[in-house]
Amino acid sequence: MRYILAIDQGTTSTRAILFDENQNVVKVAQKALTNIFPHPGHVEQDAQEIWLSALSVIQEIFYDGKIKAQEVASIGIANQRETTVIWDKESGQPVYNAIVWQSRQSSYIVDRIKKAGYDNLFKEKTGLLLDPYFSFTKIMWLYENIPGLKNNENLLFGTVDTWLLWKLTGGKVHATDVTNASRTGLMNIAKLDWDDELLKLFDIPRSILPEIKDTAADFGKVLEYYFFAYACPIMSLIGDQQAALFGQSCFKRGESKNTYGTGGFLLINTGASLIKSKHDLLSTVAWKIGNEITYALEGSIFVSGSLIQWLRDSLKIIGKAQDSEAIASSIDDNGGVYIVPAFTGMGAPYWDKKARGLICGLTRGSDHRYLVRAALEAMAYQVKDLLDAVEEDIGYKIDSLRVDGGAASNNFLLQFQSDLLQMPIMRKPMQESTALGAARMAGLKAGVYHYEDFTNDTFTAFEPQKDAEMMNLYYQGWLKAVAKCLKD
Ligand code: ADP
C-alpha cells in the first residue's frame, strides 16, 4: 500500500490525515491552536506553536509503527491563507507572532494606500481588493511596528505553507505555490510572479519572498529526523479553499463549491480565463498543474454557521447547532421573519462596512422557531446573492453547487438552498474536502492517483422541490430586509 499524507493547517487546529491509494481516510490526528488577541481587532497566533502542532500530528500518525512512514509516497499541505510569518533564517525564530488572516491590525495601512489612490492599480494587478485581509499589509505592519527589521538581510517571509515547508525541510526550501501567492497582494495574477511595481510601492524587499511554484511540484524533502528516518517528498502546497474546490472535484469551468463553516466561501472554477468581477468578488488562482493554470472567482460570507452559534450562545434559543434542523423544519414557512447577519458589515456583493444586522417582520406569533428558520435561510440567501453576482460576471449559468463545512450536515439548509437556487445541491459523504484536495494534488504528482480516480465521487443530491415563483417571493423579502440595513 502507498499512502498520501495531508496536513490541513487551519485557523483553529492542525490536522494530519492519512489517505490510502483509494483516497480513503485511514488515520487522523488533530491538535488545537491558541488564538492571541493582544488588542481589539488584532488576531495573532504563535508561529512556533503552528509548527510544533504540525510536527506533533505527523508524529501521532506513525508513532505506533502500524503504518510505516516509508509507505508514504508524498505529502500535501493545505493551509489557512494570508496568515503572515516573518522569521530569521539564521535562528529559525519568528520575529513576531503570526498575524492571522482575520486580523484588522493593518487597517490604517490600507487607509493610507487607498488615500494615495492605488485602489485600481492594486485590483488590476492582483485580482484582490485593498483590505487588511491580505498578507502584504501584515508584512508592512511588521516592518513598521517591530524594531530591527528594516535592512535586516536575514529575514524571510512566508504564509503558513511556506513557514511549514521551511521548517519541515530543515531550512532548505523557501517556496510557496501560486494559490497561496495569489493571496498575498504581491503577486501579479496574470504573470504569476511577484510584481516589482507593487513591491516598490509597499517598500517590501523581494529578497524576503519565497519562490513561487506550481501547486503540484517538487517542494523538497522532509528532514529525516522529523519523519521516522525517511526523507519523504513534499509534493503540494495549496490554500485551504482552493484545496476544497479540488477535493470537491470542481475541475471544469463553471463548477463551484460553497463551504458553510464559521464564515462561508464560495469558489467558482473559471477555467483558464482570469475574470475580473464587476461586483468586487476576488479573482484568485485555483491551482496550477504543469503548464495548465486554472483560475477561480471567490466570494466570502462573513457570517454563516456562526449565526447558528449566535442563536446558541448569545440568544440561547437552541441547545446544539444540530437542533436547528428539526426546529426550522417544524414550521411551514418563515412567517415573513428575516435575519440579516451584518454583524461586521456586509461583504460581496454589497460591500458596506457600516451596515449592521437586523431582525424584521416579527409578529406576536413569531417564536424561537421563526428565528432559527430565518437564520438558516439567511445562510442560503447570502449564497444566492453571491451566485447571482458571479453569473453576471461570467456570463453563463451555474447548474449545480457542491457543499461542505460544518453546517452542510444540515438537511433543511441544503434543501432550502436547492429550492432557492433551483439547482441540485451536492454533498459528499466524506466531508474532508480540504485535506482530500491537498492529498489529491500530492498524489497526482507522486503518480499514486490519476485524474480518472477523481471522477467517481458519490454525492447526496438535494433537488429543488418548491416552486420557483414562491421561492422568488421569499428572496424578494430578503432583499428588502438587506436594503434596510445598508448604510453607505
Ligand atoms: P470552521 O469554519 O471553523 O472550520 P466548521 O466547518 O467546522 O467550522 O463549521 C462550524 C460551523 O457550522 C459552526 O459555526 C456551527 O454553528 C455550524 N454548524 C455545525 N453543525 C451545524 C448544523 N447541523 N446546522 C447548522 N449549523 C451547524
d(CA 323, CA 329): 10
Residue 477 has a pLDDT of: 97
Region 168-192: what's the mean pLDDT?
A: 97
Region 116-128: what's the mean pLDDT?
A: 95
State the CB neighbour count (10 A cutoff) for residue 228. Answer: 18
User: Which residue out of 9, 80, 260, 307 has the highest number of ligand 1 atoms within 8 Å of its CB and is therefore the one to mutate?
Assistant: 260
Region 446-464: what's the mean pLDDT?
A: 92
pTM: 0.93
Q: Which ligand 1 atom lies nearest to the CA of residue 312? A: 16
Hey, which residues does 264 pair with through a beta bridge? 260, 301
d(CA 315, CA 370): 13
d(CA 388, CA 480): 16
Instruction: Using DSSP, state whether 222 is helix, strand or coil.
Output: coil
Per-residue pLDDT of 236-272, as tens digits, reads: 999 999 999 999 999 999 999 999 988 899 999 999 9
Residue 11 has a pLDDT of: 87
In the structure grid, which three cell numbers stand for residue 453, read together?
A: 480516480
Query: Confidence band (pLDDT; 50, 70, 90) for 458?
Result: confident
Decide whether any atom of ligand 1 lies within 6 Å of the 334 Cβ.
no
Measuring from atom 8 of ligand 1, which residue has the nearest CA?
261
Per-residue pLDDT of 123-146, as tens digits, reads: 999 999 998 989 999 999 999 999
User: Does the N-terminal peptide bond of residue 424 adopt cis geometry, omega within 30 degrees of 0?
Assistant: no
d(CA 358, CA 349): 18
Residue 354 has a pLDDT of: 81
What percentage of the chain reaches a pLDDT higher than 70?
Answer: 100
Q: Compute, in angstroms, the gap from residue 322 CA to the centroid of ligand 1.
A: 9
Q: Judge if 3-240 and 249-427+458-488 fold alike in CATH terms.
A: yes
Residue 250 has a pLDDT of: 95
Question: 249-427+458-488: CATH homologous superfamily?
Answer: ATPase, nucleotide binding domain (3.30.420.40)
Q: Is the pLDDT of residue 430 over 70?
A: yes
Decide whether any atom of ligand 1 lies within 6 Å of the 411 Cβ.
no
Region 16-40: what's the mean pLDDT?
A: 93
DSSP string, 159-212: EHHHHHHHHHTTT---EEEHHHHTTTT-EETTTTEE-HHHHHHHT--GGGSPEE
Residue 488 has a pLDDT of: 65
Per-residue pLDDT of 30-69, as tens digits, reads: 999 988 888 888 889 999 999 999 999 999 999 998 999 9
DSSP string, 5-69: EEEEE-SSEEEEEEE-TTS-EEEEEEEE---B-SSTT--EE-HHHHHHHHHHHHHHHHTTSSS-G
Residue 42 has a pLDDT of: 87
Decide whether any atom of ligand 1 lies within 6 Å of the 406 Cβ.
yes
Q: Is the dihedral of CA 462, 468, 472, 474 positive or negative?
A: negative
d(CA 133, CA 165): 22
In the structure grid, which three cell numbers stand for residue 32, read together?
A: 488545537
Per-residue pLDDT of 268-298, as tens digits, reads: 999 999 999 999 899 999 999 998 999 999 9
Residue 103 has a pLDDT of: 86
Domain ranges for the chain, please list them.
3-240, 249-427+458-488
User: Which residue out of 81, 320, 410 has the highest number of ligand 1 atoms within 8 Å of its CB and is therefore the one to mutate?
Assistant: 410
140: left (phi over 0), alpha (psi -120 to 50) or beta: alpha
Q: Is the dihedral of CA 426, 333, 323, 348 positive or negative?
A: positive
Matching CATH number, 3-240, of 3.40.50.2000, 3.40.50.150, 2.60.120.380, 3.30.420.40? 3.30.420.40
Decide whether any atom of ligand 1 lies within 6 Å of the 306 Cβ.
yes
Region 300-329: what's the mean pLDDT?
A: 94
Region 390-403: what's the mean pLDDT?
A: 94
Residue 68 has a pLDDT of: 94
Average predicted confidence (pLDDT) for the chain = 94
